[in-house]
Structure 1
């Protein structure tokens, strides 16, 4: 879960000194100009510029400095009329007071946003908790990256369970965002946790997810019975060697497998409709099996990765980004992938990203 960061112009150190520069430039020009030329805008701009981005004490200090500078200049260079002098000083003082009020309004707004963001993050972690770092013979890592800084609740999900039938994993993407997507995520994760423990076939687990989502679509008005579908991929790593991965894909981007030597390739399957739409074209679940020897790594992800585009409109290719990588730490692997997507898009993500990576530990490491 990524936290929000201020924009670049709010983080630039030069911004803290820009109001002082305005006051200094205004003072220099005021002293070099005829008495009838007014440069008051330089002084009122300083506290107004500080108000939305600097702290209260800095905004107040710039307001006092601007007002004091104008008052001192009026004392050193008396204007033709006392009334005009008083108007300039009072104007800068009132604008400085207004800047302090703006600073307090912005601070309270930021506090409310931070509180809402904290609640959203807590809800996200409660609905989609972080998986354990070690499950059976696998090391596990997960990442959730929101496309928008203030949007933390989305429809992306992941889960890992150690069951009597091996380690079972789920990565999915519910259409939409907000409360309806969160409810659908909770339904799918609840069904997965139950079905993964008791269904001997991975295809049967997928059928249970389909049934649960369709049932809740009919029972809850917030879940769209037509468009409330979810893409998902389920993976199973049996507990006994030789280890292989079993895969069921319901309209989701294909997982990526990296061998011990770093060679990466997609695990593709026959096309299938997403969860919630199975009744439109019912067909038996196709389970694919592939080798997964010690040292291999597996990446599951949502379409926020595979549909990330650069300025030229080119999609990001996870296989191209990971091919040749020999990192065995799944967390480092995900950091590398996220950095690659951010670099590819120039930081302009269009969709949330949920990623799950696992590494098959050698026998002596998994004991």
Structure 2
């Protein structure tokens, strides 16, 4: 059964026929036979807001015929009747011209958006849905409306050392941060195949970001800034998870309906800060990963999402209240929960990467 929104949605489609009928009625029953001309002249222009160009032309023709018919019925003089019809058709032609321009710009904009989205997705391709013993789900909501990606990033790759994944967040948000995202993802895909440990992998990412930052330092495309990163490695057996956190929000482990936040025991600095680690070599931590367990990795667009009262979103509550086990269901439920918490406001780029171990 339709609600109020359904009725409002039908109003633009009903307006042209109502204007047509109203204009005819006024012309027929008003003291003068031309009182309805303003209504009839608007028919084609209003139709262009909701109907196709061809349908709008038909409405314009119908308005002209209705003007002629109503004027003839009221016995209006031929010269005055021709002026009435010409006036209605002239306004209709202006409306149709505007409709043609808007449709052409809409088609050009659609092509530009498709090209932009393809280019952005080439920078941040979606990971495979199944790799080794894992099922994978990713979700991305950019802070900038119309953008497919922003300053958040993730990548997943099967390597000689097992399945390696990364989620990160570059300084800044929206499209200006995409260049840093491209560098970080490209460096990960190259280094993940060769770095023997996550510590070595992080070092290679650090050096790649520093080199690119120096290269672009004096250009308009400067990528100066740090990158938080969470690096994960899962062996082919899938029974453990090794995590290295470089200043990123911690991941969440779902096991038997319980949600555990895997806070790092030794917090580390983000990548590309130019500073030495306060704890010496960053510490890799390993956790058990049983069948049907899920590892949920997020960016601060999730952990720092606020409601109208300024309260932060509780990720553990959001995940624990779902009772879901599939990777795609968990990702969808988390994004939906954050969207409802913020009232649909895009406060920051938001990325979610879920790894679930199959039975």
- The answer, yes or no, to whether TM exceeds 0.5 is yes
Query: Is the 1:153–1:177 Cα contact (8 Å) retained in structure 2?
Result: no
Aligned with residue 181 of structure 1, among 177, 180, 184: 177
For residue 40 of structure 1, report the CA deviation from its aligned partner.
Answer: 2.7
Note if 1:349 corresponds to 2:320: no
For residue 69 of structure 1, report the CA deviation from its aligned partner.
Answer: 1.6
What is the correspondence of 1:253-264 to structure 2 with a 5 Å cutoff? Answer: 253-259=249-255, 261-264=256-259
TM-score (norm 1): 0.85
TM-aligned CA distance change 1:95 to 1:148, over 3 Å: farther
Query: Is the 1:52–1:102 Cα contact (8 Å) retained in structure 2?
Result: no
- Aligned pair count reads 350
For residue 267 of structure 1, report the CA deviation from its aligned partner.
Answer: 1.8
What is the correspondence of 1:284-299 to structure 2 with a 5 Å cutoff? Answer: 284=280, 285-299=282-296
Partner of 1:230: 227
CA distance in 2, matches of 1:148, 1:87: 51
Tell me the secondary structure at the aligned position of residue 131 of structure 1: coil
Partner of 1:51: 48
Q: Structure 1 regions of 5+ residues with no counterpart?
A: 1-7, 363-367
**Any idea what the Cα deviations from partners look like across 1:300-348, whole Å, max 9, x if unmatched?**
1223333333344433332211104343321122122222233333333
Q: Mean alpha-carbon deviation: is it higher for 160-169 or for 304-313? A: 304-313
**Any idea what the Cα deviations from partners look like across 1:195-214, whole Å, max 9, x if unmatched?**
22222221221121111111
**Any idea what the Cα deviations from partners look like across 1:99-123, whole Å, max 9, x if unmatched?**
2111111111111111111112211
Partner of 1:32: 29
Note if 1:266 corresponds to 2:261: yes
Query: Is the 2:306–2:341 Cα contact (8 Å) retained in structure 1?
Result: yes
TM-aligned CA distance change 1:89 to 1:238, over 3 Å: same
Note if 1:89 corresponds to 2:65: no
Q: Structure 2 regions of 5+ residues with no counterpart?
A: none
In the TM superposition, structure 1's runs of 4+ consecutive aligned residues that sit over 6 Å from their partners are none
Tell me the secondary structure at the aligned position of residue 199 of structure 1: coil
Partner of 2:14: 17
Query: Is the 1:262–1:323 Cα contact (8 Å) retained in structure 2?
Result: yes
TM-aligned CA distance change 1:114 to 1:176, over 3 Å: farther
CA distance in 1, matches of 2:307, 2:181: 29
For residue 289 of structure 1, report the CA deviation from its aligned partner.
Answer: 3.1
Query: Is the 2:45–2:95 Cα contact (8 Å) retained in structure 1?
Result: yes
The CA RMSD over aligned residues, in Å, is: 2.7
CA distance in 2, matches of 1:69, 1:342: 50
CA distance in 2, matches of 1:183, 1:148: 15
For residue 359 of structure 1, report the CA deviation from its aligned partner.
Answer: 0.6
